[in-house]
Amino acid sequence: EEFAAILPSVDAEGLAAVAERIRTAGEGARWEHEGQSLRVTVSVGGARADEVANDDPMRGLLELADRRMYVAKRKGRNRCQTADPT
């Protein structure tokens, strides 16, 4: 599943810290299903308002965060990606 968190006035460092807190909170969770214990992973993509065009900032934020989330998943899941890979 996916969800979005709107964090006004958060800088790059703050975004990375919040993303990591979300990831680690989910990391320890276990789901029991049909006698099996399933591990939960959380892949986080984050974006800041100053990284997107002003013509449609909400759409830009969601698209950039979504793109970064898929980068985190491709890197092995259970990761945070709050900046473009270098």
Residues known to be catalytic:
1
> Could you give the CA distance from residue 38 to residue 55 in angstroms, rounded to a whole number?
42
Report the 10 Å Cβ neighbour count for 46: 25
- Output DSSP code: residue 79: -
